[in-house]
Amino acid sequence: MLDDKDIVKLLGAMELKFSTKVDFETFKDEYSRDFADLQTSVDVYAGKADKFFQELVMLSSQNKRHEKWIVRIAEKLGMKLEY
């Protein structure tokens, strides 16, 4: 049978091995803060990616426009462009 010393040992082991409600609440708070930080980081990255995509579309359009101008200039000068 278990004596008082054994019970004290078991209770001490349970405190080290098993989470308590307070431990869980602390973990939940940390998890919520970490998730909020991660969400903020993802939002910032998504904003930067969106700006980059818009700039890429703008540069592509500008490049096409310049290419058309070069082709027109070459036609007026009677030059044949080789690609």
**Does residue 23 sit in helix, strand or coil?**
helix
- Chain-centroid distance of CA 5 in Å reads 52
CA–CA separation, 1 vs 9, rounded Å? 14
Number of domains within the chain: 1
Distances from the Cα of 53 to the Cα of 11, 33, 65, angstroms? 59, 30, 18
In this structure, is residue 29 part of a structural domain? yes
In this structure, is residue 5 part of a structural domain? no
Q: Which residue has the higher pLDDT, 3 or 55?
A: 55
In this structure, is residue 1 part of a structural domain? no
Range of the domain at 60: 19-77
Residues 38-54: pLDDT tens digits? Answer: 999 999 999 999 999 99
Q: Which residue has the higher pLDDT, 3 or 59?
A: 59
Q: Are 81 and 74 in contact (CB under 8 A)?
A: yes
Residues 59-79: pLDDT tens digits? Answer: 999 999 999 999 999 999 999
Q: Are 67 and 75 in contact (CB under 8 A)?
A: no
In this structure, is residue 30 part of a structural domain? yes
